[in-house]
Amino acid sequence: MRAIVPHLDICTGCRMCEMACSLHHEGLVNREWGRIRVHRKGIEHCVPVVCNQGASCDKECVKVCPVECIRDVNGHAVEVVREECIGCGECVEACPYNAIHMRGDVAFKCNLCDGDPTCIKFCSLEAITFEESIPEEFDRAKDAAEAVR
């Protein structure tokens, strides 16, 4: 399964992915609406954090959702069906990658833009790539995600 793979040594911290993500999904710009988010770790690293679509987790979000509104709708990605979400926040707590977020009364996460992720188009140095899973990179991303939770 293809997923968005972060490469921690490359990310430049330009945050184009964050901005383009919220513009694509919400028609406005705000990292609080970003499905992908970049965290700056001092001068050493910038860490892009985004859902790996189960490539490197057990889809904990799907398991904990009490109304089963997190599911694969069209064969591309696991997504939150916004109309059905009750805003309980269980999925946010459960995600080991810190890749599901709440704003107002809804949860939201990356849905790979229906198979053609916008963020990838704005990453000139390929700090995020859309490809078959690379477990080692996900492991590093997980540690990084924990650190920024």
* Residue 19 sits in the site that holds another protein (CB under 8 A): yes
Instruction: Please give the single-letter amino acid code of residue 148.
Output: V
Contacts (Cβ under 8 Å, ≥6 apart) of 76: 111, 112, 114, 115
Give 37's strand partners: 49
Contact with another protein (CB under 8 A) among 24, 71, 140, 142: 24
Q: Which is closer to another protein, CB of 42 or CB of 75?
A: 42
Among 125, 135, 143, 146, binds another protein (CB under 8 A): 125
Q: Do residues 16 and 141 lie in contact, with contact meaning Cβ atoms separated by under 8 Å? A: no
Q: How far apart are CA 137 and CA 149, in angstroms?
A: 18
β-pairing, 78-80 with 100-103? unpaired
- The nearest distance, CB 15 to another protein, in angstroms, is 6
Contact flag: residue 43 with another protein (CB under 8 A): yes
Is residue 102 close enough to count as binding another protein by CB under 8 A?
Answer: no
Smaller CB distance to another protein: residue 11 or 141? 11
- Give how far the C-alpha of residue 113 lies from the chain's centroid of Cα atoms, to the nearest Å: 11
Q: 60, 94 in Cβ contact below 8 A?
A: yes
Does residue number 27 form part of the binding site for another protein (CB under 8 A)? yes
Piece of the chain touching another protein by CB under 8 A; list 35-43, 47-55, 71-79, 131-139: 35-43
Q: Which residues contact 37 (CB under 8 A, 6 or more apart)?
A: 18, 31, 48, 49, 50, 101
As measured in angstroms, the least distance from the Cβ of 54 to another protein is 28
139 near another protein (CB under 8 A): no
Binding stretches for another protein (CB under 8 A): 9-16, 19-20, 23-24, 26-30, 32-33, 39-40, 42-45, 118, 121-122, 124-125
